[in-house]
Structure 1
Amino acid sequence: MKLWLLALPLLLAACVAGPSGNPSPPQPAKSVELDRYLGRWYEVARYDMRFEKGCEGVTAEYSTRPDGLIRVLNTCHQGAVDGPVKTSEGKARVVDTATNAKLKVSFFGPFWGDYWVMDRADDYSWAIVGEGSGKYLWLLTRKLPTDLEREALTARAKALGYDTAMLRPTKHF
């Protein structure tokens, strides 16, 4: 048991270790109206992480839950855009009620991770999502992204200080 207690901090550190795509991520640029943010988003590109390895055709859907939290339903096609569907359901809660741009998300147990809406279109047609360490980044659109939208979002992420060479484009039908 003592060995397990000694190993726990190392295991937790290993979970957060890894390259940072933005060593000094900015604060979110705009407030978020949660009702307008809810709904389906298509992933344009991401920093590739273990939990999304091999995912294509990725979408995220946000809706309100009876308990006041936000339901998060992530869907991906494993291996190819027509591959088997994999879903992950989680929950989110707002932690910065002044802007609603900083949330915590949990997909299992008592473990919560940061989810910051770093920037968004005025009409909520696109969003850039990251968090305080700069290790995670997602570029999202409301409809299937065009090449022009992908380029514009990538340029915006670069302007926010992110290493866009680390972005992995997401394939869709």
Structure 2
Amino acid sequence: MWGFNGSCLQALKANLTMAISLMLVAFIVPLVGAQVPHWGSCPEPDVQASFNLKLFMGRWFEIGRLPTQFEKGGCMESNFTFKTNNSFRVVSSQIQKGTLRTIEGTGVIEDQMHPAKLGISFSYVLPYSPYWILSTDYVNTAVVYSCTDVLRVFHLDFAWILARTRTLPESAVDKAKETFASKNIDVTRMIATNQRGCDE
């Protein structure tokens, strides 16, 4: 009968964990499609100080984003409606192949010590996904970040530039990208959202 000492068992567990992790990467990456995985767990960037949830409410248009599997159309926008001191309703929409598609969800302040760390869920059975406000002036632009951690083996970044209008000057877009860069979030693959002809 074979015997294993403690170090052998630890090595076996480590190898098994690595094998499972690599299988997960091979299985999950094709599913997320547009996202680029990064090794390690999600980063923890600083968020907006003294964030005011009420002032953030209202209509925001998407100006740019990192590619995602769930946003394939144009004219993306989200309307946030205040509910309580730490919760809100969100209705997001996009036009895809000539059809208006909307989805409704709920949001909360997940960390009372950091009220800009919001969480949003579009399903009663799914947990809240991070929706962190890195920077906003409430009246013109908002810089938003989210991250999905997969077993602390790798993570997927999501990033958006939002505005109160359908377009922003290039200088404002550049400034928003600089905000991401200052927090070590790579947005070199960010794409502009098509906001043309949305109100016709």
Which one scores higher on RCO, CA 8 angstroms, separation ≥ 6? 1
Aligned amino acid, residue 158 of structure 2: Y
Q: TM-score, normalised by structure 1?
A: 0.77
Partner of 1:19: 36
Deviation (angstroms), 1:154: 2.2
Deviations 1:12-60 (Å, cap 9, x if unpaired)?
Answer: x83789525796451214231011000001101111111112x211111
TM-score (norm 2): 0.68
CA contact (8 A) 2:107 2:120 kept: yes
**d(CA) in 2 for partners of 1:71 and 1:38?**
9
Note the aligned Cα RMSD (angstroms).
2.9
Deviations along 1:66-119, one digit per CA (max 9) or x if unpaired, are 79631011011114xxx3211110000111223310111110122121111111
Residue 14 (structure 2) aligns with: none
Name the structure 1 match of 2:132: 116
Quick check: which has more Rg, 1 or 2? 2
How many angstroms apart in 2 are the aligned matches of 1:67 and 1:164?
Answer: 32
Higher deviation after alignment, 147-156 or 91-100? 147-156
- Cα distance in 2 for partners of 1:20, 1:163 equals 12
* Residue 146 of structure 1 pairs with residue 168 of structure 2: yes
Q: Structure 2 vs 1, CA of residues 21 and 37 (structure 1 numbering), >3 Å: closer, same or farther?
A: farther
Give the share of equivalent positions with the same residue, in percent.
22
Correspondence for 1:57? 75
Gaps of 5+ in 1: 1-9
For the Cα contact (< 8 Å) 2:86–2:109, is it kept in 1? Answer: no
**What stretches of structure 2 of length at least 5 have no aligned partner?**
1-23, 148-154
Could you say which residue in structure 2 is the equivalent of 1:85? 100
Which of 136, 141, 158 is the matching residue for 1:136? 158
Count of equivalent residues:
158
- How far apart, in 2, do the equivalents of 1:29 and 1:140 lie? 15
Partner of 1:74: 92
Contact 1:61-1:74 within 8 A present in 2 as well: yes
